[in-house]
A and B are shown apart, each in its own frame.
Chain A
Amino acid sequence: MFGDKVLDLKAPRKRRLFVTVSPSDYKELMKYLAESLRITHISTITGADVGAKIEVMPHLFGLGVELTVKTMVPKDKPELDSVTDIYPGAVLYEREVHDLLGVVFKGHPDLSRLVLPEEWPEGVYPLRKDYKAQQPEPIRKG
Chain B
Amino acid sequence: MSKFEVPVGPQHPALKEPENFTFVVDGEHIVEVRPRIGYNHRGIEKAAESRTYIQNLYLMERICGICSVAHTTCYAQNVEYLYEKEIPPRAEYIRVIINELNRIHSHLLWLGVAGHEIGFDTLFMYVWRDREHVMDIIEAMTGNRVNYAINTIGGVRRDVTSETIAKARKVLDILEERTKYYKRVAAAELSLISRTKGIGILKPNDAVRLCAVGPTLRASAIKSDVRKDDPYSAYEEIPFNAVSYDLCDVFSRILVRVDETFEAINIIRYCLDHLPSGPVRLKLPRNPPAGESVSKVEAPRGEDIHYVRSDGTEKPARYKVRAPTLGNIPAVCDMLTSKADHTVNIGDIPIVLASIDPCFSCTDRAIKFVDPWKEKKWIWSHEQLDRYARRKGKQ
Contact = CB atoms under 8 A, between A and B. Distances in A.
A57 B322 CA distance: 13
A92 interface: yes
Contact of B211 (A42, A57, A100, A115): A42
A89 B38 contact: no
A100 B42 CA distance: 13
Given A89-B209, A127-B46, A44 B322 contact: yes
Given A16-B293, A66-B294, A126-B43, A113 B326 contact: no
B391 interface: no
A126 B47 CA distance: 11
B330 A12 contact: no
Interface string A84-112: 00011111110000001000000000000
Interface string B307-330: 101000000011010100011011
Contacts of A53: none
B324 to A, nearest CB: 10
Contacts of B250: none
B305 A44 contact: yes
A43 B41 contact: no
Interface in A38-56: 40-44, 46, 48-49
Interface in A52-68: 57, 59, 61, 64, 66, 68
Contacts of A115: 37-38, 41, 364
Contact of B230 (A66, A90, A91, A93): A66
A133 interface: yes
Given A92-B330, A114-B38, A48 B296 contact: no
A87 B327 CA distance: 13
B247 to A, nearest CB: 22
A46 B320 contact: yes
Contacts of A42: 211
For A42, A46, A64, A91, the residue with the greatest tally of chain B CB atoms inside 10 Å of its CB is A46
A116 B41 contact: yes
Interface residues of A, number: 36
Interface in B124-174: none
A3 B317 CA distance: 30
A15 interface: yes
A13 interface: yes
B37 A89 contact: no
B208 interface: yes
A66 B224 CA distance: 14
Contact of A88 (B35, B209, B291): B209
Nearest to A100: B45
Contacts of A136: none
Interface string B75-101: 000000100100000000000000000
B366 to A, nearest CB: 14
A32 interface: no
A127 B81 CA distance: 24
B305 A59 contact: yes
A87 B84 contact: no
B259 interface: no
B329 A92 contact: yes
Interface in A66-83: 66, 68
A46 B293 CA distance: 12
A41 B192 CA distance: 33
8 contacts: A12-B291, A43-B303, A44-B307, A44-B322, A66-B294, A91-B330, A114-B38, A115-B364
